Structure 1
């Protein structure tokens, strides 16, 4: 097989700094209008609607909203509306749908049902003319431009930043606003990790399985990481909360077993570190992404220090660099994963 030297997946990952800068600039008015509405009428609760990578972004949103705003966030199963025909009582709720394409019928139908039922509906989508954007009351565009690779990268990063910008508008006194302004530069620094990712990926070219661990704000990124490793390299990767892994799954860890772990700089950092140290004692081999830590991990992609809420964004970008080069080291084209296509329409 002729090895692809610069796949679209990696090219689009490198666009992340510009995408985030564009989103922050051009979404400011929509975000401010939505924030004013939410301050005037705080939601009873929040529900998200999404699938795939977008659902992993929704998991990140859950942690952000619950830790920063104290708003309880649940996840709607689109099939409740599209397959079972049930209607949830969403009066006074905030319903946020996330979809790169904005085309999946079940997500659109769920948002329409939520709006008809009295919920305030928001779409985070890359397609401003999509059915989803037309259905929701408010739209926060991802501003990612056309995304050609099957594996979402820059659109996923945008879907992490969009809710952060809303939280910054709802809490203007916080340090988050300044952190978002600095984020494009932080992502540019993250792109400088690509040479490290390329050189380290070769180590795992024969890996058949991998576990991804994180806690809190990084957990949605861990879920996304497992998906990307499956999509681009065919590795049987599974994501777990570092808090849950010791409850049984740790049984699979043997000497040399590869674990991709995320280390934060927030309240969960020390607890995660305890878990990672115990895994190293069992002989596991760690791939460390995020904050540096006193671990033996032979592979480290240390992202720039930012804010606890923006650190996961840079960690996701670093993972995409690693995943893309891991696929290349395995002789695979990450732009053409077997049996997959860019837009999946589900009901």
Structure 2
């Protein structure tokens, strides 16, 4: 297909991600000892976030539990802001994640967590924000100013912060650390070969789609679904493949595009290939996002296999789909920088502010 090549703000910010990742990793990796010392003695790590930040936090939770052996979970901000619940968080760390650091609901939730005995951590792109200055420990991402409404480089640098947190609390792993330092170059390689993604853009323009993943890739799957919804005005559900098999798969029929987000290795790898085979027998057109050469072969289309371990795959796999979604929006006659009805900061019902 032919897509107009006029650079949008979203496209420029996608292209800035290798440098944003390098800057964030350079700033945060040396702080792993500090993170480990400050969080010592706390038995669980809970995340408070909304939107794309919530999807980054889902990866953080999985990494903590599978790599560091630390119990993770997601806080329901309404427990703090609406129900005013009182919980014993004296053995917990609560991490507030907000690219702006001005998400009032998350700032309030972190203050509530502190009053319940939690140690608080902020992950934000603004070191001077209320979230950062009020937390016991602030992990500032170096994404730079992000002007497009859809979060791209701010999301990816939040994922990097989650990687730093998870590896700080986990065992020393020299091979993983070496691979992590190489991730910005892998993202740059994806950006350099973007035109190969046009067949995926064309397929997603044709109708209904679903997105599925599991485990460490679940947050990426949900982020892809969210970006398709908010940027391309398409109703898209993101599912764990376990949840998909528990009923919604019955709605998959001929003409549906199924996007399978996978890693090149890991314990759910083979099940993703089995799911691809099942979806194709139901008439779906399948798209492999990341994954292995075997997953790519099991699907009709793909963004290209990943050459990175499952624990780091969320730092790379989302990037080709960011490119796809920006191009799809323009193909549909939409402005990816300013999706209809959205702004960089939106109001929730209390009223507070929430990152998009």
CA contact (8 A) 1:46 1:94 kept: yes
In the superposition, the TM-score normalised over structure 2's length comes to 0.92
Match of 1:281 in 2: 281
After superposition, residues 77-88 of structure 1 pair within 5 angstroms as 77-88=76-87
CA contact (8 A) 1:10 1:324 kept: yes
Per-residue CA distance 1:22-46 (angstroms, 9 max, x = gap): 01112234333112223xx232211
Match of 2:96 in 1: 97
CA contact (8 A) 1:187 1:314 kept: yes
1:71 and 2:73 correspond: no
Q: CA RMSD in A?
A: 1.7
Distance in 1 separating the partners of 2:90 and 2:167? 25
Distance in 2 separating the partners of 1:87 and 1:149? 38
1:333 and 2:335 correspond: yes
CA contact (8 A) 2:35 2:168 kept: no
Alignment partner of 1:22: what SS? helix
After superposition, residues 6-85 of structure 1 pair within 5 angstroms as 6-38=7-39, 41-85=40-84
Per-residue CA distance 1:21-74 (angstroms, 9 max, x = gap): 001112234333112223xx2322111100011011111111100101121112
Alignment partner of 1:121: what SS? strand
CA contact (8 A) 1:31 1:140 kept: no
Alignment partner of 1:128: what SS? coil
- Runs of 5+ consecutive residues of structure 1 not aligned to the other structure: none
Distance in 1 separating the partners of 2:72 and 2:33? 21
Distance in 1 separating the partners of 2:117 and 2:148? 37
1:217: Cα distance to partner? 0.7
After superposition, residues 298-313 of structure 1 pair within 5 angstroms as 298-313=300-315
| Partner residue of 1:323 out of 318, 325, 330 | 325
Distance in 2 separating the partners of 1:325 and 1:204? 11
Distance in 2 separating the partners of 1:189 and 1:3? 22
After superposition, residues 195-274 of structure 1 pair within 5 angstroms as 195-207=195-207, 209-264=208-263, 265-274=265-274
Match of 1:188 in 2: 188
Alignment partner of 1:109: what SS? helix
1:172: Cα distance to partner? 2.2
Greater shift, 8-17 or 25-34, is seen at 25-34
CA contact (8 A) 1:45 1:71 kept: yes
Distance in 1 separating the partners of 2:193 and 2:235? 25
Distance in 2 separating the partners of 1:287 and 1:335? 25
CA contact (8 A) 1:47 1:76 kept: yes
Distance in 1 separating the partners of 2:320 and 2:41? 35
In the superposition, the TM-score normalised over structure 1's length comes to 0.94
Alignment partner of 1:244: what SS? helix
CA contact (8 A) 2:60 2:166 kept: no
Distance in 1 separating the partners of 2:206 and 2:175? 43
CA contact (8 A) 2:141 2:161 kept: yes
1:216: Cα distance to partner? 0.7
Alignment partner of 1:344: what SS? strand
Distance in 1 separating the partners of 2:219 and 2:276? 18
Greater shift, 19-28 or 52-61, is seen at 19-28
CA contact (8 A) 2:57 2:162 kept: no
- Runs of 5+ consecutive residues of structure 2 not aligned to the other structure: none
1:297: Cα distance to partner? 2.8
Alignment partner of 1:147: what SS? coil
Per-residue CA distance 1:240-299 (angstroms, 9 max, x = gap): 011221111011111121111112221110011111111111111011110232545332
Distance in 2 separating the partners of 1:157 and 1:238? 21
